[in-house]
Structure 1
Amino acid sequence: MKLNALEGYLQEVRVFDNPKVHYEQYPTSAHLAARIVYTAANSYDDIEDKLVADLGCGCGMLGIAAFLMGAGHVTGLDIDADALGIAQANISKFEVPMDLVRSDITHPNPVDQDATASLIANEALLRRLSKTVDTVVMNPPFGTKPGNKGIDMAFLRAALTLATTAVYSLHKSSTRDYIRAKAKSWGATGQVLAELRFDVPQMYKFHKKKSVDIQVDLWRFQQDSC
């Protein structure tokens, strides 16, 4: 699938109805999602026929993109039941055979077993994921809100634990040196593939502008043992 066609499909993906600031929920745009997954698929062959996990999947944008680019199977994990409900609607619309797990990936045990029945949430699946995921794609929280400090690195560490091949992730460009050093301390090598603009729309009461562009890096991480 060509890049423009992929972005066109992703424009139809529904995003957050009522985003939650404490989870730092900002939707990954169709434009960014298309470029992340297209790069992983065409430059590194890390998507087609691969087992892909989308950590902090939100409404499923990156996971759906991975499926459209030929992923063998996709699993999305998120802590928020409301976001997963929207993701379920999206994967039904696109007819994507994607598993959804309600879990705090920084503490890998499913939460609140009363989640929507159609969502898979069980420890057995998470244990299986740790042995079978080839590629992780994610847009983790930046960790800028009170109580969230370090959450971006917690996501990265979890992703490196799961992925047997590579991790693709967005991080603020201002943290580049820190992220590279942190990955190295965990036995991984990180490469910045692109410098991108993350358009944050006016979503919360404290937002004063209609939109703000944040400079972000698209990273590819790989364990040194791979």
Structure 2
Amino acid sequence: MKLKQLESAIQEICPERDFGNTPTIELEQYSTPPRLAATLLLEIQDFITERIAFDLGCGCGVLSAGISVLEASMVYCLDIDQKCLDITSGNLNSVDIKAEFIRGNVEDFKGKDWADVVVTNPPFGTRKTGIDWVFVEKGLVLAPDVFSFHKTSTRKFFQKKVKEGGIGGEIMMTVPFELPKMYKIHKKKAVNVDVDIWHFSR
């Protein structure tokens, strides 16, 4: 499958990507751009096809949509916001994939080895310091491989965490992540933030 094909499929599956026009700033709710999701997922297709995936902090289900197109055997979708789970569930109704929707806080979520791979676009940690690393830590409990998006400005922080934790961690690519104007504090219509796509492993 080509990048444009997967991007278009994600857009078709997920017409609702704006958190019902009521995103929550404390949760740093920003939808993963479909093209960016497709770029990552095609790169890691061998980790997804016919495997169990976990979308940690699923938001509106953009990553889950791409995971379903790439024929994962199952996807778990976890989010603290029931509104997000309802949107994701509605979006995934149009695709043939076994999915389980779980409302929960990543920090408190229990369980180990639920999946083969975790894919996540976590909060950047702007509103709650360190929450971005919490997603990685929890992801590595749930699966041996975690693929996630993090602001390039936090690269040294993550490199230090990888070294201290004795885990695998490499930057796959650095990409521009467009953040649209979604909250009152935003002055510009949109802004691009450089983001590292990481592969963590245990």
Alignment partner, residue 176 of structure 1: 155
Alignment partner, residue 4 of structure 1: 4
Stretches (4+) displaced over 3 A: none
Alignment partner, residue 34 of structure 1: 38
Q: Which blocks of at least 5 consecutive residues in structure 2 are unaligned?
A: none
Whole-angstrom CA distance in 2 between matches of 1:184 and 1:60: 32
The one-letter amino acid of 1:60's match is: G
Whole-angstrom CA distance in 2 between matches of 1:27 and 1:131: 26
The one-letter amino acid of 1:134's match is: D
Q: Which blocks of at least 5 consecutive residues in structure 1 are unaligned?
A: 110-126
Q: TM-score, normalised by structure 1?
A: 0.84
- State the 1:176 CA deviation: 0.8
Whole-angstrom CA distance in 2 between matches of 1:83 and 1:155: 17
> Structure 1 residue 143 and structure 2 residue 125: aligned?
yes
Instruction: Classify the secondary structure of the residue corresponding to 2:174.
Output: strand
The one-letter amino acid of 1:216's match is: V
- State the 1:132 CA deviation: 3.6
Whole-angstrom CA distance in 2 between matches of 1:54 and 1:206: 28
Percent identity over the alignment? 39
Q: TM-score, normalised by structure 2?
A: 0.94
CA contact (8 A) 1:91 1:97 kept: no
- State the 1:93 CA deviation: 2.7
Alignment partner, residue 198 of structure 1: 177
Whole-angstrom CA distance in 1 between matches of 2:8 and 2:65: 13
- State the 1:131 CA deviation: 2.5
- State the 1:167 CA deviation: 0.7
* Aligned length in residues: 198
Instruction: Classify the secondary structure of the residue corresponding to 1:169.
Output: strand
Instruction: Classify the secondary structure of the residue corresponding to 2:113.
Output: helix
Alignment partner, residue 136 of structure 2: 156
- State the 1:34 CA deviation: 0.5
Whole-angstrom CA distance in 2 between matches of 1:28 and 1:57: 10
Instruction: Classify the secondary structure of the residue corresponding to 1:32.
Output: helix
CA contact (8 A) 1:54 1:138 kept: yes
> Structure 1 residue 89 and structure 2 residue 90: aligned?
yes
Instruction: Classify the secondary structure of the residue corresponding to 1:183.
Output: helix
